[in-house]
Amino acid sequence: MTTAAQSTTRFSTTKDGVSMNWHYCLKRGVIGFAPLIPLLLLASLFVAAPAQAAGGLAMSGSFYNQGFEIPQGSSVSAPSVYVVVFNQGDEAFGVRMSWEAPVGVNITLSDDDFTLGPGEQQKVLVGVEVSHDAAPGEYEISVTAESYKQGGDGIQVMGAAGQSATLVVLGDSASVTAQAASPDGEPVVATVRLFKVIDDRNYEVAYSETGTLDATVAPGSFLASAYVGGEKLAEESFNVATGEEKTVTLTVGTIYFEGFGIVPNYHTKTGELAFAQIVYTVRNLYQPVADAEIILLVTRDGASLEEISLATLSPLDIGRAGLNYNYIPSGGWVDGSYGFKLQLNLDGEPYATTLEEQFDVSNGGAAGGGDGGGGGVSAALIVGIAAAVLAAGGIGYLLVRRRRA
């Protein structure tokens, strides 16, 4: 096995022959060199099972049990790859996360510095990125949690726990595209997961919430699955050879948003923005539902702005329901980037969503003052809404606006 050639963490690389973990503490003058000697024993903490250290720190999770086979220039990141850090002691402490990997390999952590009270735990997602320059071979990679507390003498290290896993960097690769689609081939927003099958075990290598997944993978056997509302609706097994570009369509018969668009409307006299028209179609290919509700989720500059109930469909029958809504912010239009996303709740629980559409407002909403972002409705969407209304005998649904705190 090739040994790790570089230790790279938030506090680790090397500086003048001293690891940055040490240099960080020495520079702050909080502890001397002698107390750091026990840190040389950290390697013994990397075990293939949940680990526990002094001071109540413990770690479990799935990271150590992953079979990472990653081509140069690719990565693995999925909710199923993680560690969980526990405080099993009787006092709060801070936790710093670090990692070790060979040159050309980067490990990403969803959290790298946090505090745990007695009995608390924190789940940390782990991703592995392999650069084009990484040398092919087999390596050991590791993730460490170090507990500490601040006292009168500065930062005091209390303990550490970690997990290690095997990484195989490959020079050969293939590509996979997996797309969730309706029976007539229309794209569906869904959760798509891609697993590599090794010795009859599934290792997740890619994940997407958009309905489309593109991944560079190691050649071999795979399983792709599509989920809507947490329910697995389709899956397909397949093999991919070196250099192959594989496309997989996962057909789902479900309830989804067939179309979604934002159309800005301006006052003819003043040229100021009046409202943004939300136009969409809900399509039910599954079964009649007694209670369905459409929620509009609005953000401004990335921060949540408001949630509005647009429509209650009781029942939601098989077929299409074409709807629209004229949106004006409760506080009026303010310059910024607005994000719009629809959510379908069935029996009060989230089931399906759209992708977020962006709409930029500037110069007080004057015509031409924003780029409109995703503002625009395709002809297919308009025809779909018209067809849905005609199919319902020209009777539209009552749109009820209800603001939520």
Give residue-wise pLDDT tens across range 349-364: 999 999 999 999 988 6
Looking at per-residue pLDDT, the higher value among 150 and 275 belongs to 275
- Residue 40 is assigned to a structural domain of this protein: yes
Asked if 161 and 307 sit in the same domain, the reply is no
**212 and 140 within one domain:** no
At 153 the pLDDT is: 74
340 in the same domain as 230: no
Is 152 among the domain residues?
yes
10 Å CB burial of residue 29 (0-12, 13-18, 19+) is: exposed
CATH for 127: 2.60.40.10
pLDDT at 403 over 90: no
Q: 């399509």: which residue's tokens?
A: 283
CATH number, position 241? 2.60.40.1120
Same structural domain, 158 and 283: no
Given 151, 170, 189, the domain boundary residue is 170
291 and 210 in a common domain: no
pLDDT in tens, 213-239: 999 999 999 999 999 999 999 999 999
What is the DSSP track for 5-52?
Answer: -B--SSS-SEETTEEHHHHHHHHHTSS-SGGGGGGGGGGGGEESS-EE
Kindly state whether residues 21 and 148 are assigned to the same domain: yes
Nearest to 146 by CA among 77, 98, 205, 105: 98
Any idea what DSSP says for residue 318? S
Q: Find the domain containing 273 and state its range.
A: 255-404
Asked if 98 and 227 sit in the same domain, the reply is: no
Given a cut of 60, is residue 35 above it in pLDDT? no
Q: Which residue has better confidence, 196 or 271?
A: 196
The pLDDT value given to residue 370: 53
Domain end (from 198, 220, 251):
251
Among 329, 331, 334, CA closest to 298 = 329
Q: Which residue has the higher pLDDT, 275 or 33?
A: 275
What pLDDT, on a 0 to 100 scale, did the predictor assign at position 367? 56
Comparing 36-45, 177-186, 234-243, which segment has the lowest mean pLDDT?
36-45
Domain boundary among 251, 282, 298: 251
Mean pLDDT of 144-168: 89
| Lowest-pLDDT choice from 291-295, 296-300, 355-359, 395-399 | 395-399
* 339 and 380 assigned to the same domain: yes
Identify whether residues 314 and 364 lie together within a single domain.
Answer: yes
Question: Does residue 9 sit within a domain?
Answer: no
Question: Model confidence over 330-351: pLDDT tens digits?
Answer: 989 999 999 999 999 999 999 9
The pLDDT value given to residue 55: 67
Whether the per-residue pLDDT at 400 is higher than 70: the answer is no
Same domain, 224 and 351: no
Same domain flag for 310 and 392? yes
Residue 3 maps to a domain: no
pTM of the model: 0.74
Say whether both 232 and 259 belong to one domain.
no
Average pLDDT over the chain reads 82
So what's the pLDDT on residue 67? Answer: 87
> How many separate domains does the chain show?
3
CA–CA separation, 207 vs 225, rounded Å?
Answer: 10
Whole-angstrom Cα distance, residue 374 to residue 340? 9
Q: Which residues pair with 357 in a beta bridge?
A: 340
